[in-house]
Amino acid sequence: MKKVAILANGGDVAGFNAVIRAIVKTAENKGIECYGIIDGYNGLLKNDYKLLSTDAHGDAVGILPKGGSIIGSSTNANVFNYKVKHEDGTVEFKDLSDVCVQNVKNAGFDCVFTLGGDGTQKSARDLSLKGINVIGVPKTIDNDVACTEITFGYNTAVSVAANAIDRLHSTGETHHRIMVLEVMGRYAGWIALESAIAGGADVALIPEIPYDINRVAEKINNRRKRGKNFSIVVVAEGAAPKDGKLTIIGTRNNGSGVDNTRLGGVGQVVAKQLEEITGLEARNTTLGYMQRGGTPTAFDRVLSTKYGVKAMELALEGKFGTLAVMKNGKVDSVSLEDVVGRNTEIGACSGNTAESNIRKVSMDHDLVKTARDIGINLGD
Ligand code: F6P
């Protein structure tokens, strides 16, 4: 193995650079050149890449605590169904994956490390079926990649959300308000549930448990009876009421085969309903991209480094078409087929649909039991 490349794709997370650094360092130790593909699958298509090194003035120096991705990322590049704009303004979707395959061959990359979530890994799996050596590393703040206990970036998102809950506590308590915090996570409730426990919230509404707003109001009123005139409600962006629908901000136009739904707005809906039912003032805060940006937690730095090292180990062993994962607390690997094989409705780039093979919060998970046992209302 002489030359490898790293491709970061999908919505950014804290920890991207830590993975990149770990791969570059382990490659250098083995005398392997490591390249960074610029802007995810877009760069693979445009043949845009640069050498990464940890030499004094190299691009991969000092990047461990840095947010974002030093090689960019793309959320709108499904090379199997790529949006091509013609000069006359018309748009066409084309399968340009063979261009990527040729670019990898021309560059002489012995392996491409694909850092990304479900969509990214699905494209990686499809490229591996066309003969490209790929190894995936599971990234997303949503923590919803199948076959792994944790994705890098998730812990930082939870930590940002927990800090926000701490801050909402003091302002909520001062003004005797219901403070709602809407967090990300798409169709999985990991961020909402874990940050609610970490921040001591009173309610956590997650996509896996359709909520009854009256049960939430009951919880808040019970707190009031005990002299607690404020409450903290964490709502996952993908939470929906019983017999109700997801709240959607809009759509994006990344092509068919990709989840184009932009989730958002449920926090505002919940705040308004709770105000009406309880008579208490309610305010919503939508945390948004704060959860993705900035420096990774120490946990994410270590996890990302472990994943980067494992990915290179898999490459050296020739175990291509796999994803580095965490299994029973240990770094391990699974085939990409197991991870994304069942996802027929996503194409690439960011996002999953509600039906895809994502890892959701299961009702027997420790976090659910822990939340219930300390009295966090889950909306049911
Ligand atoms: O998948 C990561 C994520 O941040 C989700 O939590 C969120 O729904 C989505 O990406 C936002 O995507 P975009 O960057 O396209 O707005």
119 within domain boundaries = yes
Measured from the CA of 191, which atom of ligand 1 is nearest? Answer: 6
pTM: 0.95
CA 207 to centroid of ligand 1, rounded, Å: 15
Span 123-141, mean pLDDT? Answer: 97
DSSP structure string for 63-84: -TT--S-TT---SS--TTSEEE
Task: Tell whether 165 and 125 lie within a shared domain.
Answer: no
Eight-class DSSP state of 223? H
Radius of gyration of the chain (CA): 22
Q: Which of 184, 252, 360 to mutate to test the pocket of ligand 1 (most atoms within 8 A of CB)?
A: 184
- Across the range 173-188, mean pLDDT stands at 97
Q: What gap in Å lies between CA 21 and CA 110, rounded to an integer? A: 19
Q: Are residues 20 and 141 in the same domain?
A: yes
335: burial class by Cβ within 10 Å (0-12, 13-18, 19+)?
A: middle
Name which residue sits closest to atom 13 of ligand 1, judged by CA: 11
- Please say if 259 is a catalytic residue: no
pLDDT digits over 236-248, tens only?
A: 999 999 999 999 9
Buried b vs exposed e over 89-110: b needs ≥16 C-beta within 10 Å?
eeeebeebbebbbebbeeeebb
Compute the mean pLDDT over every residue in the chain, rounded to the nearest whole number.
93
Ligand 1 neighbours, Cβ below 6 Å, are 11, 75, 140-142, 184-186, 237, 252, 263, 292, 350
Answer whether residue 355 shows pLDDT above 60: no
Q: Are residues 170 and 269 in the same domain?
A: yes
Mean pLDDT on 7-31: 97
Our count of domains for the chain comes to 2
CATH value at residue 275: 3.40.50.460
- In the block, tokens 């490390």 appear at 113
The reply to whether 261 falls in a domain is yes
Q: What is the pLDDT of residues 292-335, one digit of tens each?
A: 999 999 999 999 999 999 999 999 999 999 999 999 999 999 99
Predicted confidence (pLDDT) per residue in 268-280, tens digit:
999 999 999 999 9
Distance 311 CA to ligand 1 centre (A): 25
Question: How far is ligand 1, taken at its centre, from the CA of residue 351, in Å?
Answer: 7
C-alpha 350 to ligand 1 mean position (Å): 7
Distance CA 84, CA 123 (A): 18
Does the structure show a pLDDT above 50 at 346? no
Nearest to 158 by CA among 297, 19, 362, 307: 297
Per-residue pLDDT at 253: 66
Same domain, 222 and 367: yes
Tokens of 324: 């580095």
Residue-wise pLDDT for 70-107, tens only, equals 999 998 788 998 889 899 999 888 999 999 999 999 99
**In this structure, are 12 and 132 located in the same domain?**
yes
Does residue 280 share a domain with residue 253? yes
Question: Nearest residue CA, atom 12 of ligand 1?
Answer: 11
- The answer to whether position 355 is within a domain reads no
Q: Are residues 185 and 274 in the same domain?
A: yes
Residues 199 and 303 placed together within one structural domain of the fold: no
Contact 141/291 with Cβ under 8 angstroms?
Answer: yes
Range of the domain at 168: 156-292+363-373
What per-residue confidence (pLDDT) applies to 356?
59
Whether 246 and 175 map to the same domain: the answer is: yes
Say if residues 89 and 64 touch (Cβ distance below 8 Å). no
Specify whether 214 is located in the same domain as 84. Answer: no
Residue 222: its pLDDT value, please? 98
